[in-house]
Structure 1
Amino acid sequence: MTLEDLAARQRAFAEARAWGPFHTPKNLVMALSAEVGELTELFQWLTPDEATSAPQDPAARARIEDELADVLLYLTRLADVLGVDLIAAAHAKIDRNETRFPPNIGRAALDR
């Protein structure tokens, strides 16, 4: 499944429930933010090692997967409503970052 397929499935899901009037950019951004908060909560008080190993626990993994899915679905829906190609936007951002952050620049700072 491509991101376009996912957006189409999410669009059809929303249309079947007549959620269009509620899926404004403002509402979708707020819902996305709430879901990111729920994902954050799963890791909030964990040590770095605990956070890294959390997905090895089946119950924790299920919660993490659910919250990641919610974030992806709201982000995909928001991009669809705004007419943004997420893949193209991500590639453009990486292109800009490659200019802003040349290879090994962080390494030089660590070597000082």
Structure 2
Amino acid sequence: MTEVLEGDETVTLKVLKQKMHDFAQERDWERHHSPRNLLLALVGEVGELSEIFQWKGEVAKGLPDWKEEEKVHLGEELSDVLLYLVRLSDICGIDLGQAALRKIRLNAIKYPIPDPTPTPKP
């Protein structure tokens, strides 16, 4: 497997996809990586992510009141969700980056920018 990127390296979906492929192949896990199994694992990881926020109430942007170890744990759980999502899209033959860009375009049509000119009330 190629070395893990650290620091200021650019991480793309393509890099993550390849690293997840290599990781699974080296461990002979590909036979377990069916779409169903990956989806169930993803849902489990979303549950773990949800637990972090479960009793915190509203949280300020940037998490200014969080301890460093809480932020590290959050990063780990967010990463688990991302990595399973990338792996699931790869196994399903979906280009996740292109699908996301398409979805943004569709959302822009569905939710257009509001007209800044106020409409006069009768």
Unaligned 5+ segments in structure 2 are: 1-10
**RMSD between aligned residues:** 2.0
Query: Are 2:70 and 1:67 equivalent residues in the alignment?
Result: no
Structure 1 runs of 4+ aligned residues shifted over 2 Å read 49-56
Out of 78-87 and 23-32, give the one that drifted further: 78-87
State the TM-score, normalized to the length of structure 2: 0.79
Q: Which has the larger radius of gyration?
A: 2
**Equivalent pair of 1:54/1:61 in contact (CA under 8 Å):** no
Letter in 2 for 1:63: H
CA positional deviation for 1:53: 2.4
Decide which structure has greater helix share: 1
Deviations 1:36-85, CA, capped at 9 Å, x for gaps: 11001100111213686267410110110000010011001001111111
**Aligned counterpart, 1:79:** 89
Q: Give the match's secondary structure for 2:59.
A: helix
Query: Are 2:42 and 1:42 equivalent residues in the alignment?
Result: no
Unaligned 5+ segments in structure 1 are: none
**Aligned counterpart, 1:99:** 109
Identity of aligned residues (%): 40
